[in-house]
Amino acid sequence: MNNSQPLLALVVPCYNEQEVILESLSALRALLKTMMSQKQISSNSYIVLVDDGSTDNTYSLLQTRRDKNTRIIKLAHNVGHQAALLAGLHYVTDKVDCCISIDADLQDDIEVMSEMVRHFCNGKQIVYGVRSNRDSDTLFKKGTASLFYQLMQQMGVPIIDNHADFRLVSNTVLKEFSKYKEVNLFLRGIFPQMGYPSSSVTYSRKKRNGGESKYPLWKMMKLAANGITSFTNYPLKIITNVGMIVFAGSLLAALWVVYVVIADKNVPGWASITLPIYFLGGIQLLSLGIIGEYISRIYLETKQRPFYHIEEIVE
- Find out whether 2 and 92 touch, Cβ atoms under 8 Å: no
* E strand or H helix that includes residue 14: strand 8-14
What 3-state DSSP class applies to 11?
strand
- Order of all β-strands in the sheet with 98-101: 198-204, 126-133, 167-170, 98-101, 8-14, 46-51, 70-75, 310-314
Cα–Cα distance between 136 and 203 in angstroms, integer?
12
pLDDT value of residue 261: 67
Strands 167-170 vs 46-51: parallel, antiparallel or unpaired: unpaired
Cα–Cα distance between 83 and 312 in angstroms, integer?
16
| Four-residue CA torsion sign, 214, 219, 221, 226 | negative
- Find out whether 207 and 107 touch, Cβ atoms under 8 Å: yes
| Rg from Cα positions in the chain | 25
Of 178, 206, 205, the C-alpha closest to 194 is 178
Cα–Cα distance between 308 and 315 in angstroms, integer?
19
pLDDT value of residue 294: 77
Of 201, 221, 211, 268, the C-alpha closest to 55 is 211
Cα–Cα distance between 38 and 32 in angstroms, integer?
10
Q: Which stretches of the chain score pLDDT less than 70? A: 1-3, 134-138, 140-141, 208-220, 222-224, 226-234, 247, 250-251, 253-254, 257, 260-261, 264-275, 278, 282, 301
Cβ atoms within 10 A of the Cβ of 61, count? 17
Cα–Cα distance between 310 and 142 in angstroms, integer?
36
- CA geometry: angle at 50 spanning 189 and 203, to 5°? 50
pLDDT value of residue 239: 72
CATH number of 8-232+306-314: 3.90.550.10
- Find out whether 88 and 50 touch, Cβ atoms under 8 Å: yes
Q: pTM of the predicted model, to two decimals? A: 0.76
- CA geometry: angle at 283 spanning 279 and 289, to 5°? 145
Distances (CA, A) of 23 to 18, 28, 104, 235: 10, 9, 10, 44
